[in-house]
Structure 1
Amino acid sequence: MYIKSNNILKHIHMKLNPKKQTLLLVGILLGGRLFAQTTPDTAITKDYVVPFSGSKMLNTWSVGISGGITTMYNILSTKDQSDFTHPASSFGYGAYVKKQVLPALGIQLDFLRGTLKGTSAQPDPTNPLTSYSTKLNWSATLGAVFTFANVNWENKKPLVQPYISASGGVINYTPVIQHTGGPKLPFKDPFGKNNAAYETLIPVGFGVKFNVSNNVNIDFGYQIGFVNTDNLDGYNYGSNSDKFSYIHLGLEYAFGSHKKPQMATHNPVASLRTEYLTGDVNTKAAIQSELDIEKNKNAKLRDDVNATLTKITTDSDGDGVPDVNDKCPNTPAGTKVDGAGCPLVLAITEVDKKVVTDAIKNLEFDYGKATLRRGSLPGLDKVADLLISKNFSLKLGGHTDNKGSAKLNMILSKARAESIKNYLVSKGANPSRIEAVGYGQNQPIASNKTAKGRQINRRVEFTLY
């Protein structure tokens, strides 16, 4: 690549003088804008960046390298204004680091090396020079680069980005001059080291960059370096400071994801256009999404309401009290109930008391057992009907005389009370309203010393309430 570049540069130098070279470059730079192209709509989506999202979605750091022609000829001077009337073209190369701070503004640190040559010094009887060769050891400048085509109202994504640059810094150089018929003489500078001089350098330039991808640009530019001295060529002639040109071709690489566009080449207008074109679709989609969410919420609410209504209105036993409030579920059909779903308790009448009294009088058990005799059943049937129809509660208290052990008497009294309860329940009475308790021989109501008294103490008390 180095050999080919030198051959090309030599060919250009042989065919064109410096002035024509510069005019050709300017023509290329001005005509390059005509190559700006519009990419398909699909590229907008690829390079779309949310407007006003800052630099986090863009690549802002880049480095570049370049190579090209260095010459003392420039577009601001003629050969008659130069110290040497025949400036030659030599090879130069450079590199830079850039931080893009705004879409149109980048801060760039440049480095440059190269050689400047020329022959035929301006007439000077006291110093007849024939040629010079200045080695540009290095230069370092810091400045600004202004890019124009990234903000574009005509093209979605221009291929070419024109730019101008201006910076300032230091140049270190070593000129070697040759007199007529004499040897080459190194330049002597009292403040330099190893025959090298340091001077202020102000480069100003312009050019175009071709955006190859989100990470790569081709850089083609022209730069004039203003040096704060007239001895860049080792020869002071006239009152003008020396200037030199650097015509270069290079590559720029932007650090960051290949999916992100460069800030310097990104067209924010295209993103605004995409935002505008897709805004209605996105808005409709967002509204539809919200409507779907609300519909789902309403459907769930409707299901919850229906479930709650079903729960609070279900009346399994048909007593008019919903199950959720029914404290007496499974009430027989036709039973009058209170607000809690429990059968209404009616007042105890004399007739009701007589039914219980008659049942007690006719109550008989097998001797020493809890088995009801047949003669007890008709009276108990009437008691069961009374409990069912009027929802009365009944307490059964079993008692014995003092014959036998107290423990066995307690068991027997409890068993007889339970036997009566079981019979009443078998006839449809509510078991939760019947209590069966055994007291054994502990609560006699007559003397156990006589047969009559013991018979009276062997009893089951019915307490109706």
Structure 2
Amino acid sequence: MKSKFKKASLLLTGIMVGGKLFAQTPDTTMAVKNYVQPFSHGGLRTWSIGVEGGLLTPYTIFAPSQQDYRSPHQEVGYSGYIKDQFLPDFGIQADYMGGKVNGAVTAADQANNTYSGFSTKIGYAVDLMATFTIANIDWVNKKSFIQPYVSLGGGEIGYTATVSNASGTFKGQQEHDFYLPVGAGFKINVAQGVNIDLGYQVDFVNADDFDGTIVGNNNDRFSYAHAGLEFALGDRHKPQMANYNPVNSMRTEYLMDDQRLQIQLNEERAANQALRSDLNTTNANLAKLTVDSDGDGVPDVYDKCPNTPAGTQVDGAGCPLPVKKPDVKVYVTNEDRAVVNEAVKNLEFDFGKATIREHSDESLNKLATLLVNKGFSLKLAGYTDNVGSVAANLKLSKDRAEAVKTYLAQQGVDPSKITAEGYGKANPIATNKTDKGRQINRRVEFSIY
């Protein structure tokens, strides 16, 4: 008896240690990856496998006084399963179980019965069982840490019973019968996709010879107390359907929507604040366009002459308009014409050049004084003799007229009142056949007005 408990204790200890080892390296990103939208099973792991070990005994919690052998012994049993979790609270699993079931009669029963004990070897026990997970709804936790469950199913069991009495041991034939497993237990989540499974199961055999002895009309039964590990199959980053909490996912979805709305509201507030800032800047810039500090009717942004005295007429740039002087009629007198004629008479140029000879300066200075004092306008017309090409003569005549204009401007005459043109060898006033005639034709005519 003690050795059986020792074996069971070692098996349970191994399972617990294995679960702890799996729990040493939890997925630190589970909090992010463990979220699945409510009622969306596409991101969940539904398939799992389990391995279990425990104690097999003919003693059960259901009417133990009606059993054939009421002095139970414990033997080590083993089992495994594969499960598909259709819903967080419902799954279907296929089980396999093996081991031995031993029992004996009490001392009082031995005096009245032929057999003193039995040992039944379970060759196989396969079944299909429905499991119902209960009490795994929690508003606060994203997943259930502990999942209580109940199970019910049916399958076939193959066994061979051996009975003992005072005369010896008798081994029967292998039997195959239907059996009904009913169980309850709970699973503890120790790592992502890893659960410790602790449960108790009663197996009702549809026969009275499971213990090798037929007594009365009661079918035999035995129990299986087990501990094991369950491993979820599939992507390790996905949560397991069995400990998935859809109610908390609804709460998470609500909080996420609220957070998204809050972020959107903050973004819209920031955008509105930016628009308000842009509008204030625009209004400030528009205000600058209308400010007229000196009151001249031209905004400061366009006023190139700020601080214009009040009442001053200005142009579009804000600068004062020139004061228009009253028109004064000026008459050309004979003395004025004499000054002009003298300047024409004494004007000479170097041959083939626009250089004014020095003896012309005195009469030109007098002409400049006349133009400045009386504000006359002057038209200069340059001419040449017929020596040279037409183009060269036109250029030379223009250059000579410009030379006179430049000289007069240097003496203080307003150049805007002087026009200078060149006409080349046109309009000769003397013959071009003699040197003297050609000299006369190389001239600049003056017209004042």
Range into which the TM-score falls when normalised by the shorter chain: 0.5 to 0.7
The partner residue of 1:113 within 86, 93, 98 is: 98
The one-letter code of the counterpart of 1:250 is G
Identity of aligned residues (%): 32
The equivalent residue for 2:60 is: 74
The equivalent residue for 1:295 is: 273
1:175 is displaced (CA, Å) by 0.9
Matched, 1:248 2:230: no
Per mean C-alpha deviation after superposition, the further-off stretch among 227-236 and 45-54 is 45-54
Contact 2:88 2:242 in 1 (8 A): yes
CA distance in 2, matches of 1:143, 1:54: 25
SS in structure 2 of the partner of residue 291 of structure 1 = helix
Distance 1:267 1:118, change over 3 A: same
Number of aligned pairs? 383
Q: Note the residue ranges of structure 2 that are not aligned, 5 or more in a row.
A: 10-30, 431-436
Contact 2:59 2:70 in 1 (8 A): no
The partner residue of 2:162 within 167, 173, 177 is: 177
SS in structure 2 of the partner of residue 187 of structure 1 = strand
SS in structure 2 of the partner of residue 302 of structure 1 = helix
The partner residue of 2:201 within 223, 228, 248 is: 223
Matched, 1:447 2:427: yes
1:244 is displaced (CA, Å) by 3.0
The one-letter code of the counterpart of 1:7 is K
1:21-36 alignment to 2 at 5 Å?
none
Distance 1:222 1:352, change over 3 A: farther
1:206 is displaced (CA, Å) by 1.1
Contact 1:400 1:459 in 2 (8 A): no
CA distance in 2, matches of 1:243, 1:381: 146
Per mean C-alpha deviation after superposition, the further-off stretch among 411-420 and 142-151 is 411-420
1:301 is displaced (CA, Å) by 3.5
CA distance in 1, matches of 2:370, 2:93: 118
Matched, 1:151 2:137: yes
CA distance in 1, matches of 2:400, 2:129: 113
Name the larger-Rg structure: 2
CA distance in 2, matches of 1:397, 1:256: 107
CA distance in 2, matches of 1:138, 1:354: 145
SS in structure 1 of the partner of residue 74 of structure 2 = strand
Contact 1:410 1:439 in 2 (8 A): no
Contact 1:93 1:113 in 2 (8 A): yes
Contact 2:39 2:246 in 1 (8 A): no
Matched, 1:91 2:91: no
Contact 2:47 2:83 in 1 (8 A): yes
The equivalent residue for 1:162 is: 148
Contact 2:179 2:205 in 1 (8 A): yes
Distance 1:321 1:154, change over 3 A: closer
The one-letter code of the counterpart of 1:75 is I
Contact 1:69 1:248 in 2 (8 A): yes
Contact 2:384 2:441 in 1 (8 A): no
CA distance in 2, matches of 1:261, 1:209: 15
CA distance in 2, matches of 1:4, 1:47: 46
SS in structure 2 of the partner of residue 244 of structure 1 = strand
Contact 1:157 1:266 in 2 (8 A): yes
Distance 1:274 1:352, change over 3 A: farther
Distance 1:382 1:413, change over 3 A: farther
1:99 is displaced (CA, Å) by 4.7
Per mean C-alpha deviation after superposition, the further-off stretch among 365-374 and 141-150 is 365-374
CA distance in 2, matches of 1:253, 1:461: 120
CA distance in 1, matches of 2:314, 2:170: 134
Q: Scaled by the length of structure 2, what TM-score is found?
A: 0.56
Alpha-carbon RMSD across the aligned residues, in angstroms, is 6.4
Can you list the C-alpha shifts for 1:131-161, whole angstroms capped at 9, x where unaligned? Answer: 5433334444444322222225799998643
Contact 2:200 2:224 in 1 (8 A): yes
Contact 1:398 1:461 in 2 (8 A): no
1:273-292 alignment to 2 at 5 Å?
287=265, 290-292=268-270
